[in-house]
Structure 1
Amino acid sequence: MALVVVCGGGPDHTAYGFRYWHNPGPLVQYLGIDGSLGRFLGFWTVFSNAVYAYSGVENISVAAAEVHCPRRAIPIAAKRIFARVGLFYVLSIFMVGLLVPSNDPDLLRSTGTAAQSPFVIAATRAGIKVVPSIINAVVLTSAWSAGNSGLLNGSRVLYGLAREGRAPAIFKRTSRFGIPYVSVAFLSLFICLGYMTLSNTASEVFGWFQDLVSVSALVNWTIICTVYLRFFYAMKKQGISRDRLPWKGWGQPYLAWIGVFAFILLLLTGGYTTFIDGHWDSETFVSSYINIPIIFVLYFGFKFIKKTKIIPLDQVPVMKFIEIADNNPEPPAKPVTGWRRFNILWS
């Protein structure tokens, strides 16, 4: 739809092309700061918003214990994430950037609905009446899907922590179907926080929760990259070839190191606006940085209470799990036929 409208196929037959890239331009002033610095700060602020949108892409690994042939299924899902991100995020936002000017007042108008979505704004500006309703339905169903995914992954993480003795034992309880119902019920209580958006003042608090999610994602990704680097160098220290793994990512360990530094930089600068003269906001500062001391207290507190130590690289039990995989081969993959050849984007 966006491509057709950009080329002049919309109801008004206006060929938009790249006009909005010239006027008002893709980068605008931010916080009333003039010049290139103001435009750069606006560009940098976008990263925090993008983190919220991308949070959860790593959760496919949590489902490994509940899928058939995980050593084959998880790598396939991981590879397809790149295709989905490229299409649903990068390409779609590129097209929206051609249809919606950066100074459109509706972009920052809090409506509580999908009306402020750039996709809805693009369709409305083009004079297409039915599409905004369709996009509104898509946004609502995707939000439901995201909540369902969060409930699944959060309950499984909590169950795994309980199995390892890092959470109360009650969360280990499962139904006869193997579902950790206590963990699911506990996480379900937080769904009620969604009703906070029904109040104008509570919507601001809900925005703080969004900031907390972004910060949590950065902390999570930093830990993932750090753990992977220890895993990588443990294999190197023990002389284990990465070819022994069911799947190995390319560009390692360099991409992991880039990720660590990038995530830490974004984490430390997430609330930079509070350090600008005249822009101090206690709520923004707390929501942007509260997770940093929390993660250190949890980590070192556990080390202190449980008297555990960091395992040396030459003692990390990598080979133990490789041998488990070798001794329990998965059945051969079934040939992909028919319409399943085109399911790269949704399964």
Structure 2
Amino acid sequence: MADEKILQDERSLQDSNSFGSENNVEHGEHTLHRGLKARQISMIALGGAVGTGLIIGSGTALQRGGPLGLLLGYSVMGLTCWCVMVGLGEMAAFLPHKNGFAGYGSRFVDPALGFALGWNYLLKYLITTPNNINAAGVVIQYWNDSINIAVWMVVFIVFIFLVNMLGVRVFGELEFWFSSIKVVALVGLILMGIIIDLGGNPKHDRIGFRYWDPPYGPMGSYLKSQVHNGHLATFLGFWATLTNALFAYIGTELVGVTVGEAENPRKTIPKAIRQTFFRILVFYVGGVFVIGLVVPSTDNSLFLATKSKTGAAASPFVVATTLAGIKVLNHVINAVILIFTLSAANSDLYIGSRTLYGLAIEGKAPKIFRKVNRMGVPYPSLILCTIFCGLVFLNVASGGAKVFTWGVALVSTFGAITWMCLAFSHIRFMRALEAQGISRHTLPYKAPFQPYASWFALIFTGIVIFFKGFDGFLPWTPATFITSYIGIPIVFLLWLGYKIYYRTRMIPSEKVDLVTGVRSFTEEYPEEKVNKDVGRLRRIWDNI
């Protein structure tokens, strides 16, 4: 009977996950299409998560932490991000299901964790989508502020909704080109910074490491007037770069959500995960290093920009061109920032709708959200996520920069909790493999430096999220405190409520289901090896 059930599960999964099918039907309903091609997955992984956190937010980090603090902060958080991503890649390649991140928490840890993780990730995207639309509206106002910003917000919301309604193939193709433009633009900005630094500017001024030396200094200071201690202010400046970098890296994990619509996830996902290291090293670390070379952390224009704007004026790259005496280029950079924000909003709406769909598939959200049209679009989920874009109209009452700051604090909290849950799910996944006698060498993708990398990501992210709102106490600022920490009790109550209501417990490692839904490895491994590994899994599952 157990063998028959396993075979039925495998047939059901094979029917529902058929690669390339345009009319997939699951339990009599349409389901998501596997329409994302390898090149689209790779490009989305390469440039999909690069957004305002780097090209705009790095200016605030430079002002607070100095060039060295900025470089160290983005490097440390980049390492943390990479540790999360490799663990996610191992799970996603092994089990490329359509249930989103919640499925890994439910499967390898506890259904209560899956419920909390799924809704936490959904809340993140219900906030970050309007936050990016808000940023796009402010970017437009850099050119023309005579038109009410609400008009642009409506235009952008309609645009990203229509793109997502056209199906995953249209979305994937548009994001491929958006991400391509972002990659080319970032490379161009980094090269521009290097050229300016070496003297290739209208002033013919070779800057070198001038802004790392006195009177500027390699490290900045933050809240010095409040703490009255120079060394502590220097440390707080560095710590502030960590929280800023956390926001910049949040979203990198979105490639893990695309596995449900990837044509060949066991090949494309590991490839995309491996590219994460180079993206972090070149774009993020390389980008902030160049920024620290060409913009002094004490420059008044940088301070004023980061306080009042979220468009091109807030970008350290624009400050660099202004200091170097380069004209017109600020408009080009503003156009690039507009593409960044629209691309981010478009992918955010996609991820939010797929996360809600995955929760509904698992029975952790109302059944209506599991409905999918013939083009593979979960339209009830998409409509609900689009409705939440109305939060962007808070900007009409409050300043754009203030709303953007609130959104950054909320998004980074929900994103950090997601990282912690993913790292813990991967630790439990590895323990289940060990307890059931399955070698990680047989997996389609084996994450390096484990389990140390996942433990590091879990602990360090926890420390960062615990202290991320420290500036809300110096002085006491209720808005800063609430937006920095409100996500923690929300997720805790989601986890606790589900656990009490359904009386769930953490799944013992030897009882974690490593069979149901795991497709044959024939695409990557010889048939005799497949038979041996799958047979071992079946025997273990029969004895539980």
Q: TM-score, normalised by structure 2?
A: 0.58
1:178 matches 2:178: no
2:523 to 320, 329, 345: 329
1:214 matches 2:408: no
Note the residue ranges of structure 1 that are not aligned, 5 or more in a row. Answer: 333-347
1:47 matches 2:238: no
Q: Secondary structure at the match of 2:365?
A: coil
* In 1: Cα distance, 2:423 partner to 2:376 partner: 30
The structural deviation recorded for 1:194 is 2.9
Larger RCO: 1 or 2 (CA < 8 Å, sep 6+): 2
In the alignment, which residue of structure 2 is the partner of 1:156?
A: 354
* In 2: Cα distance, 1:331 partner to 1:193 partner: 49
Q: TM-score, normalised by structure 1?
A: 0.90
In the alignment, which residue of structure 1 is the partner of 2:209?
A: 18
2:326 to 128, 141, 144: 128
In the alignment, which residue of structure 1 is the partner of 2:219?
A: 27
CA contact (8 A) 2:427 2:454 kept: yes
CA contact (8 A) 2:222 2:234 kept: yes
CA contact (8 A) 1:225 1:256 kept: yes
* In 2: Cα distance, 1:283 partner to 1:265 partner: 21
Mapping of 1:173-322 within 5 angstroms?
173-201=371-399, 203-276=401-474, 279-322=475-518
Counterpart of 1:217, as a letter, is: G
Deviations 1:135-193 (A, max 9, x none): 11111101111111111111111000000000111111111111101111111122233
CA contact (8 A) 2:307 2:401 kept: no
Percent identity over paired residues: 41
The structural deviation recorded for 1:195 is 3.7
* In 1: Cα distance, 2:512 partner to 2:220 partner: 50
In the alignment, which residue of structure 2 is the partner of 1:7?
A: 198
- Answer with 45-54 or 200-209: which moved more: 200-209
When the two structures are aligned, how many residues end up with a matched partner? Answer: 328
Q: Secondary structure at the match of 2:520?
A: helix
* In 1: Cα distance, 2:405 partner to 2:287 partner: 24
The structural deviation recorded for 1:331 is 11
CA contact (8 A) 1:6 1:99 kept: yes
Deviations 1:268-302 (A, max 9, x none): 101112344xx111111111111111111101211
In the alignment, which residue of structure 2 is the partner of 1:119?
A: 317
1:99 matches 2:297: no
1:61 matches 2:256: yes
* In 1: Cα distance, 2:397 partner to 2:465 partner: 29
The structural deviation recorded for 1:101 is 0.5
Note the residue ranges of structure 2 that are not aligned, 5 or more in a row. Answer: 1-191, 527-544
Q: Secondary structure at the match of 1:178?
A: coil
In the alignment, which residue of structure 2 is the partner of 1:344?
A: none
The structural deviation recorded for 1:203 is 4.4
The structural deviation recorded for 1:201 is 4.2
* In 1: Cα distance, 2:346 partner to 2:499 partner: 33
* In 2: Cα distance, 1:96 partner to 1:151 partner: 30
* In 2: Cα distance, 1:132 partner to 1:196 partner: 28
Q: Do the aligned partners of residues 29 and 134 (structure 1) sit closer, same or farther apart at CA in structure 2, a change above 3 Å counting?
A: same
The structural deviation recorded for 1:308 is 2.3
The CA RMSD over aligned residues, in Å, is: 1.8
* In 2: Cα distance, 1:296 partner to 1:200 partner: 30
